[in-house]
Chains A and B, each alone.
Chain A
Amino acid sequence: AQKVTQAQTEISVVEKEDVTLDCVYETRDTTYYLFWYKQPPSGELVFLIRRNSFDEQNEISGRYSWNFQKSTSSFNFTITASQVVDSAVYFCALSGGNAGGTSYGKLTFGQGTILTVHP
């Protein structure tokens, strides 16, 4: 079975601070996919990024960056110069990639981290 742990339940920062959201995963699949989703107060789930297990390159998109470290089974998400609009619940998720495996095609979500950015 696969598991995703987001140890930080809630984080509170002041605008313009940098913030890192931690994500640690467990899987027996040799191929897998990692995701981050954002759930703003309006409630929808917004896709942010997908990362393949065989691609450990870090990625930057504007103020967002992701650090994938296979050696520590972590896929952390950093927001630089946070803004009030970044306030949301952020979910890390994992999907198994071994065809026929029990985790194939299923997104397993972490518990979510509530980020509050104060003005």
Chain B
Amino acid sequence: DTAVSQTPKYLVTQMGNDKSIKCEQNLGHDTMYWYKQDSKKFLKIMFSYNNKELIINETVPNRFSPKSPDKAHLNLHINSLELGDSAVYFCASSLRTSGATDTQYFGPGTRLTVL
């Protein structure tokens, strides 16, 4: 009965590789997000999707591409991985289209290590 789930939990890869992180929510929420937490624990939004439509796209390198096959899933694909991409990536979801008013619930995080 996990609310927001992410796979994998840990991801270790070499520089230059392409990798994906998957996120699924079973809360029936309309809006999903990706956040990045760096080594100093700072959390910053990357993207948000509402019902499969991109609504927030922060200043993120083009190597990062979110994909939402349906409103319950938001995957993050990263091309040509760099050392600086090492971080914990959190997926989150919130109930309504007007995401500002609703609480965002987070997944367990995916720790990405680029060697």
Contact = CB atoms under 8 A, between A and B. Distances in A.
B103 A47 contact: yes
B18 to A, nearest CB: 25
B103 A50 contact: yes
Chain A interface residue number, banded:
20 to 34
Interface in B1-47: 31, 33, 35, 40-45
Contacts of A45: 90, 92, 106, 109
B45 A106 contact: yes
Nearest to A35: B103
Interface string B76-100: 0000000000001010100000111
A39 B56 CA distance: 24
A109 B44 contact: yes
Nearest to A111: B42
Chain B interface residue number, banded:
20 to 34
Interface of chain A: mostly helix, strand, loop or mixed: strand
B43 to A, nearest CB: 4
B51 interface: no
A106 B56 contact: yes
A38 B98 CA distance: 24
Given A45-B106, A45-B109, A97 B100 contact: yes
A107 B104 contact: yes
B101 A33 contact: yes
Interface of B: 31, 33, 35, 40-45, 48, 55-56, 58, 88, 90, 92, 98-101, 103-109, 111
A-B pairs, 6 with minimum CB distance: A105-B99, A45-B106, A109-B43, A105-B100, A44-B108, A97-B100
